[in-house]
Amino acid sequence: MKTILIRKVMGETLRELRIAAGMTLREVSMASMVSLGYLSEIERGHKEASSEVLFAVASALGVSLSDLMVAVSGKLAVLETARLPKVAAAA
């Protein structure tokens, strides 16, 4: 069974938000003051971002940190539900 990694889901969500905002990695990097390389690593799920970095990136994308966390939480819930063993209905 494959482990669910929050950093992967966070990176995927940040990438989706960035694309939806019509921004490049460079634009988000400049607006958030997070290095381009580090931001790329976060989006690919290779690095775990601190709360300060997440706040800066979310702000650069025009979303609140709480909205970012809600989006990530929703995706995690879906992934967890998909992994739960199917319980046979009582006859």
Backbone torsions φ then ψ of 68, nearest 5 degrees:
-60, -45
pLDDT of 32 higher than 80: yes
pLDDT at 90 over 60: no
Distances 69 to 55, 63, 78 between C-alpha atoms, Å: 10, 10, 14
Q: Which CATH number fits domain 6-81: 3.20.20.80, 1.10.260.40, 3.30.420.40, 3.30.70.100?
A: 1.10.260.40
Given a cut of 80, whether residue 88 has pLDDT beyond it is no
**Cα–Cα nearest to 49, from 91, 13, 7, 12:** 7
Q: Specify the DSSP class assigned to residue 24.
A: -
DSSP string, 31-55: HHT--HHHHHHHHTTSSPPPHHHHH
- Residue percentage of the chain with pLDDT more than 90: 82
pLDDT digits (tens, 9 = 90+) for 6-22: 999 999 999 999 999 99
